[in-house]
Chains A and B, each alone.
Chain A
Amino acid sequence: MSSENLNDLIGSGVGDSAGGKYRNVIISGVMGVKGDVECTDFKCSGVSKVDGSIKADSILVSGVNNVNGDIKCKELTVEGSLNVAHGVSAEKVQIYGVFKVNDDLNSEIFISRGGFTINGLLNAENIDIRLFVKCKVREIGGQSINVCRDNTNSIKFFEKILETFSMPQRLIVDTVEGDDIYIEYTNAKIVRGKNVKIGPGSNIDIVEYKDKFEKDDNANVKEFKKI
């Protein structure tokens, strides 16, 4: 996108703005954007609500952002909280905060170090999820899928607290399909893949594998078969 003749949208106070094409959108105050936004950089460190879709090269949300449409971008980083009413398509998604998508999420790379809820399909080439809080997604599909619980000491301290607030460090998912799969602390109905490895703390109803299947002693797999 050519950035010539385009202005920045800077929201550092409180107010509403129209959508449209911008060069950079930087929101550090409280801002409502009425309409679709197209820009190069979208940064929100304040509170914003976009009443439409966002199309950008890179999106960084370190504040609180609600999007009432789709997101289309190359890079999406969520450090704060982002809520998307429809789908997301990106090349790289990184989550360090809280992320909610009401539809499908398509990306080449998906990295999560936070929490997310995806009410559709999470479709990515490489999926790397570290569980800190409860993560929920309807379906996962991709090439390599890696889900593990973070083992750094700092979080161990919070583990009990999180569990009492019914937010265990778990992934809840219906189906997982991929080529190379490693999952732990996951509740899934069906896991299908070429090489499947189920780590500790998992509750899986059915595993269907093609080449290799490994199971941790502390994992609970009701049924597995080679196809």
Chain B
Amino acid sequence: MPYIPHTDEEVQEMLAAIGAVSIDDLFDEIPDALRIDGLDRVPVGLEESAVSRLMQSRAATDTGSVSFIGAGAYEHYIPAAVWDVATRGEYYSAYTPYQAEASQGSLQLIYEYQSMMAALSGLDVSNASLYDGATAFAEACLMAVRANRKTKSRRVLTTRGVSPLYRAVANAIMAGQGIELVELPNRHGVVDIAALAEHAGEDYAAVAVQQPSFLGTLDDVDALCDWASANNSLLIGVCNPLSLAVLKPPGQWGTHGADIACGEGQPLGIPVSSGGPYFGYLVCRQPLVRQMPGRIVGRTVDLDGKPGFTLTLQAREQHIRRSKATSNICTNQGLMVTAATIYMALLGAEGLRRNAQACHHNTRRLAAGLSALPGVEQVFDTYFHEAVLRFDRPLEPVLDALADAGIFGGYPLGDAYPELGQCLLVCATEMRTADEIDAYVETLGRLLSDSRAA
């Protein structure tokens, strides 16, 4: 029997010890009307080799394309050591480190992760991670509403450069508590700082800005940060952690720095893998730590005065506070954080900087090549590693034709940004070779001129 060690003889002896005749007897407290004989609509079990063949063939169905999509999930090279070590059984098959003495490995690793995220963001304190970037944004907004002592406002003013997917998730999560996002208009792909004047004197628990924005552009975060603090709002920065190796980190924005930063941890050694599992990071200034959701690891000493690590500030959490907790969150994304910590240790600040620069230059090369084609123009000049291109025709047939040629051309922006109809968000990470970039330009050129001729 797969994964079940019992011999027939052992089963009989165990039943005898219980005082039961059969395994069926052990279910005699379930009312007869509810007991079933078996499961319909579930196939029979397969041998490991058969499942292996099945999955190999399904995985093969989805391979062979070259992707130029970013939009919140980025394909980066992951050194072999990362997942080789992260999937060791001692990490992979451990539970939440509630028994600290038997979990020092996971706990110390999380402490190191927290230290690395604090260093990258320029803020004081990190939690042990949340589910993904979108839920980290939602939790950051909820945290700001709880933490802002200067206002009882249940509104968060957000740029439209915050990922539309994150805003959708935050709305779904916050709706029940009556907390809403108010959107600032975009101008040339960034917030129009002059338009902020309309909101002066209004109550907002926080102002949220994504840097680089979903469109790849860069906002005047210093001005936004100072405006927020002048209006008694906290400032939430949403950042791609890779960008923090080269861009000014939230802790250094404006006069006082951002209060909270969050984002998607996936670029730190996690494969794109259809959208998950990833992890969300959340960091803040020290005075806000008691309003932070999720697990936090602290360093302390044991009975002999020897340093050790433990979960701390647990009075914030659901298993202690129940209905008064800061969040219902129970898990972090421990395994993902394990991989990300090893990834950051291997790359260091210098490795991250090199990757960030390579992504920037690859995307510039791609955008320059594509916008040289007739019918394609570049929309914004200043961007990190994603560029917006406007086409002179509907995108769907173009993207379909590209996909048939083995190229995922980018993310169409029209649904989320009606003002950017027929616009495409493209990204070329350090994974894309010069040949792949050139092939995209050449293929698109051929497709556009063919359909023009037709």
Q: Do the two chains belong together in a single complex?
A: no
